[in-house]
Amino acid sequence: MTIFKRPSLKFASKRKREMPEGLWTKCPECGEMIHHLALEQNLRVCSPCGYHFSFSARDRVANLVDEGSFVETQASLESIDVLKFKGVAAYEERLRSYQKKTGEKDAVVTGNATIEGRPFGLAVMDFQFLGGSMASVVGEKITSIIEASTQAEQPVVIVAASGGARMYEGVFSLMQMAKTSGALARHAAAKLPFVSVLTNPTMGGVTASFATLGDVILAEPKSMIGFAGPRVIREIAHQELPPGFQTAEFLLEHGLIDAIVHRAQLRPRLAMIFDHLVFH
């Protein structure tokens, strides 16, 4: 005997048609369903819990610099498949598909700009492009904007978002760690500041090179920052990791970064740092 009648599915299917896919995003932190317009208006930060979703390099540039001040450098630089990588997918194919998906040539956007009239060099990594992986083009563009900033006697800011080195380029990817670090050492020798901004996630060779060399190191809330991931460390160290391990909050508590800054506060914070370190 049926006690409850099965509900009609008519209403459910109608509702489904009224909610096209891709309009709503579920916050991985608090589970809130957020409409994409609300998310864009709030700089891709969840209002109830403050979770910072990934931000494209272009959106980041627009959010940080004085309107119309950004002059992009090396915009047409593209990677080549120097190792003729053979894998699940050919490197060239992957590059083309990510270029189409993101509208970027590679995983970093660089240029000169101003914040409240103060000139500086800027590099912003894009996690949507092959996981923000560091390859020859990424290293070359970052090195060039550092060198141009040293030449122009201006500060440089790098916003990191990366899973680490790009396996398709092997040792050519790894040598970018030394190359970017060398350029930063020369920038520091000229007594010019470098501000590093770590976003979710900043891992591998990027953490192990330029990202942690900042005179001031800032991070977005709850960003995962580390070298190897927690699973790998757990397996190697054979021990449980402390709660919050590899989060920005954990690193701040242990003195590895200087401040955690909400995305909306990053621009005024950088202006303040420039004031203290450069402009008097």
Is residue 82 a contact point for Zn ion (CB under 5 A)? no
Least distance to Zn ion, CB of residue 112, Å? 35
Interface with Zn ion (CB under 5 A), residue total 7
Q: Kindly state the tokens that stand for 244.
A: 């919050």
Least distance to Zn ion, CB of residue 39, Å? 10
Least distance to Zn ion, CB of residue 23, Å? 17
Of residues 32 and 59, the one with the C-beta less far from Zn ion: 32
The region that residue 260 occupies, defined by phi over 0 for left and psi between -120 and 50 for alpha, beta otherwise, is beta
Is residue 167 a contact point for Zn ion (CB under 5 A)? no
Show the binding pattern over residues 13-32: x = contacts Zn ion (CB under 5 A), - = does not: --------------x-xx-x
**Residue span binding Zn ion (CB under 5 A) among the ranges 42-50, 117-125, 136-144, 218-226:** 42-50
Least distance to Zn ion, CB of residue 46, Å? 3
Is residue 46 a contact point for Zn ion (CB under 5 A)? yes
Of residues 25 and 73, the one with the C-beta less far from Zn ion: 25
Least distance to Zn ion, CB of residue 25, Å? 10
Residues 51-70 that bind Zn ion (CB under 5 A): 51
Q: Which of 39, 43, 49, 208 binds Zn ion (CB under 5 A)?
A: 49
Least distance to Zn ion, CB of residue 96, Å? 35
Of residues 28 and 103, the one with the C-beta less far from Zn ion: 28
Reduce the secondary structure of the chain to three states and give it as a string: CCCCCCCCCHHHHHHHHHCCCCCEEECCCCCCEEEHHHHHHCCCECCCCCCECCCCHHHHHHHHCCCCCCEEECCCCCCCCCCCCCCCCCHHHHHHHHHHHHCCCCCEEEEEEEECCEEEEEEEECCCCHHHCECHHHHHHHHHHHHHHHHCCCCEEEEEEECCECHHHHHHHHHHHHHHHHHHHHHHHCCCCEEEEEEEEECHHHHCCHHHCCCEEEECCCCEECCCCHHHHHHHHCCCCCCCCCEHHHHHHCCCCCEECCHHHHHHHHHHHHHHHCCC
Q: Is the Cβ–Cβ distance between 267 and 182 less than 8 Å? A: no
Of residues 48 and 103, the one with the C-beta less far from Zn ion: 48
Of residues 32 and 81, the one with the C-beta less far from Zn ion: 32
Least distance to Zn ion, CB of residue 209, Å? 32
Applying CB under 5 A, the residues found at the interface with Zn ion are 27, 29-30, 32, 46, 49, 51
